[in-house]
Structure 1
Amino acid sequence: MTTTPWLIRIPDVFAPFAPQILEGLGARPRKALGSDYHLVDLADPSALEDSEWSIFIRWALPVDHAWPCCPQKMDGFVEKAAQGILKKFGDRAPQAIFTGPLLPGAPHPYYKHLATNLRGRVLQLFPTLPVADVESQDPEAGTLFALVGKEGLYCGIRSPREANGFYPGGTKFIRQSEAISRAGAKIAEALHYLKLHRPDLPAGAHWLELGASPGGMTAELLDRGYRVTAIDKAALDARLDRAPGLTFVRGDVDTFQPKGEFDALLCDMNGDPRGSLRQVVRLSKSLRPGGKIVFTLKAAGADTPGEMLELLRAAEAYATASGLELIARTHLTYNRQEFTLFFEVG
């Protein structure tokens, strides 16, 4: 086992399987923290990247500095914690420092405010850091992440790509817009996650969206300045009527024959994931070289982690054999029992 403990985040949808997931990663539990977090020892930290069980892990951080305490009951916590962070990490030259709460969805904002105040004080103590904005981080450079909660303070340095997210805990809070559907938040998070691996698509890039109704994802893509050709047997929300940049085809994805080329493809269709992926592979022939694919692999009906992994292996093998390059795969905040896979066309 490693001497450095790890803080790993298992999404709540997989919480019933946490013991099996930890065993699959070769992790020995120390204690549960916050709502999704587990402090563990790892037999081999490379399992967080190499093991198929890593798909169930939202975020992972080596804990180089821990202070178990109750911040709310401690006088001068922010100053003491900031001085401790400076002593531990002051000579390690992180590109940035970002803090967050161990319980991000808690109704009481105490620890969110505490994390903000802690970051502000740490930045006063540290030398000037090259990156101040989350979106400007180099995915491959080390960032100092710190999480704070009723269980204390837990800090470490890891690159955003290795940790699986730019933010402490891995994900940015994106409000689930009710304007059309909550799916807009899912594609917004997916595009943010893609920054870990590829540059943003340029404004005006053309997306082909399969199974678009009622149009939550469509609206998000349009708001970002992209063009969208959306396919669905059901109608889009009336608020998208005559939306600039939108071409809507009312019909079956299975029989759709595209005209022209596209820069990216999005598929979040319900139903048999194998059938959805077959259509993604077929229509990927209409993507330009380097075109991106964002595919939601629905795992409904797969009741155990083993069944989910079997479905994931089959999907990735089929896509790879069909000429698609797997860029990344993850479980996003707004995913349920499903995974988001990112591919690229050669």
Structure 2
Amino acid sequence: MTNAEVPTSQPQSHSWLVRIPEIFEGVAGEVLERFGATSTTRLGQDYYLIKTPKPSAIHESESAKFARWNLPLDHSWPCNPQKMEGFIEKAAQTLLKKFGDRQPQGLFIGQLNPTSPDKYYKGLASNLRGRALQLFPKLDANTVEEQAPEKPTLFCLVGKEGLFCGMQSPRLSNGLYAGGSKYIDQDSPDIISRAGAKIAEALHYLLLHRPPLVKGSHWVELGACPGGMTSELLAREQRVTAIDRAPLDRRLDNRPGLKFVHADVATFTPQAGTVYDAVLSDLNGPPYESMDHVIRLSRFLKPRGLVVFTLKIPRIESVDEPCELFRKTVKTATKAGLRLFAQTHLTYNRHEFTLFFEKVS
């Protein structure tokens, strides 16, 4: 056999489902290329079915921050469920056959188009999960928040394109729900602003990485007006020192646990002996200025105190510019004794990422 006839081994390709939010659609091709995608199929609203020889890049590359959620594709059934007789029973039996012996801690099913006004697939996902749970042995996690972040869960997504399933830990998938999003009811007249949904989802997301803060924990919130995040924290029985040059919504007047400081964040200095459990910054303006305020006030954080920081991106025209801004911000925080332990793009974020730090000592 001549050298030309010697077969060359090719890296094994893996099928993966990646969710890239619509707001990043302009750079989705670049992100997927950096994930090593050799083929791409668009599914649903935000999803891309890719084949890649280097799935580690989905979790470890700088571009990973653009993917809200991901899943190894262990089973796919391309079909139109709405037109298939007995779809639920056939799908449930298949899930048991393919995944029952792998002992997932839980089974959660979402939609490929979760915000669609058509409720058919929402009902289908719920009914399919209900039937599958009747067939599976008892699972450890009955609700999403009962999952152990590091143990494998069976996640499925269903839509007009079919059924797509895989097993992975919620932490590696970057979300406790199938698809990664926790949708927050914003129709209530008590909702003060969209920002409240961001901190509500951020606190849910934190369960992937550390226990929730206990009731009565003390937050200092930078740039709190009009008070959407403040309201959410107070509803969780947290204490909040809210700082802003503009007044808070009057609905927050006299709320237990709230101290409002009507001042510029730059001039605010806590009283001697003050200790905070967490710093929250959703400030507008240049990120380096926002981080400078966080660092100055982090001196009043207890060890392992939490920082929830919104990194505002001026524009997203490429992958490199946001990544460079991210690197500079994290480098500055690290020098000041803040350790980045998680990052994500929340459902209610726009051109921004939510970063989670804790104080090293």
Q: 2:231 aligns with which of 204, 216, 219?
A: 219
The one-letter amino acid paired with 1:77 is: F
- Gap regions ≥5 residues in structure 1: none
Residue pair 2:230, 2:242 contacting (<8 A) in 1 also: yes
CA distance in 2, matches of 1:258, 1:79: 61
The one-letter amino acid paired with 1:293 is: V
User: Does 2:222 match 1:206?
Assistant: no
Partner of residue 66, structure 1: 76
Partner of residue 18, structure 1: 28
Decide whether aligned partners of structure 1 residues 63 and 263 sit closer, same or farther in structure 2, where only a CA change above 3 A counts: same
- CA drift at 1:202: 0.2
- CA drift at 1:149: 0.3
Decide whether aligned partners of structure 1 residues 97 and 302 sit closer, same or farther in structure 2, where only a CA change above 3 A counts: closer
Partner of residue 330, structure 1: 344
Partner of residue 265, structure 1: 279
SS at match of 1:327: strand
- CA drift at 1:2: 4.0
- CA drift at 1:302: 4.9
Partner of residue 93, structure 2: 83
CA distance in 1, matches of 2:317, 2:42: 24
Residue pair 1:99, 1:146 contacting (<8 A) in 2 also: yes
- CA drift at 1:322: 1.2
Q: 1:296 aligns with which of 293, 301, 310?
A: 310
User: Does 2:109 match 1:99?
Assistant: yes
User: Does 2:288 match 1:274?
Assistant: yes
CA distance in 1, matches of 2:340, 2:263: 29
When structure 1 is superposed on structure 2, of 39-48 and 226-235 the one drifting more is: 39-48
Decide whether aligned partners of structure 1 residues 236 and 2 sit closer, same or farther in structure 2, where only a CA change above 3 A counts: farther
Residue pair 1:100, 1:112 contacting (<8 A) in 2 also: yes
Q: 1:181 aligns with which of 183, 187, 193?
A: 193
Partner of residue 5, structure 2: none
- Gap regions ≥5 residues in structure 2: 1-10
CA distance in 2, matches of 1:71, 1:258: 59
User: Does 2:236 match 1:229?
Assistant: no
Q: Deviations over 1:89-130 (max 9, x none)?
A: 010000000001110000011001000010011111111111
Residue pair 1:203, 1:225 contacting (<8 A) in 2 also: yes
Structure 1 runs, 4 residues or longer, greater than 4 Å off? none
CA distance in 2, matches of 1:180, 1:76: 45
Partner of residue 248, structure 1: 260
Residue pair 1:29, 1:38 contacting (<8 A) in 2 also: no
When structure 1 is superposed on structure 2, of 2-11 and 237-246 the one drifting more is: 2-11
TM-score, length basis structure 1 = 0.98
Residue pair 1:4, 1:64 contacting (<8 A) in 2 also: no
The one-letter amino acid paired with 2:222 is: L
CA distance in 2, matches of 1:24, 1:141: 27
User: Does 2:356 match 1:342?
Assistant: yes
Residue pair 1:22, 1:29 contacting (<8 A) in 2 also: no
Residue pair 2:192, 2:228 contacting (<8 A) in 1 also: yes
Residue pair 2:75, 2:166 contacting (<8 A) in 1 also: yes
Residue pair 2:27, 2:317 contacting (<8 A) in 1 also: no
Q: 1:287 aligns with which of 293, 301, 317?
A: 301
Residue pair 1:232, 1:249 contacting (<8 A) in 2 also: yes
- CA drift at 1:38: 0.2
The one-letter amino acid paired with 1:167 is: Y
CA distance in 2, matches of 1:213, 1:28: 46
Residue pair 2:277, 2:301 contacting (<8 A) in 1 also: yes
Partner of residue 60, structure 2: 50
Q: Deviations over 1:120-151 (max 9, x none)?
A: 11111111111111111100000000100000
CA distance in 2, matches of 1:33, 1:302: 23
User: Does 2:181 match 1:171?
Assistant: yes
SS at match of 1:98: strand
CA distance in 2, matches of 1:300, 1:221: 27
Partner of residue 8, structure 2: none
SS at match of 1:115: helix
CA distance in 2, matches of 1:216, 1:2: 48
The one-letter amino acid paired with 1:309 is: C
The one-letter amino acid paired with 1:224 is: R
How many residues end up aligned between the 2 structures? Answer: 346
Q: Deviations over 1:187-235 (max 9, x none)?
A: 0000000110000000000000000000000000000000000000010
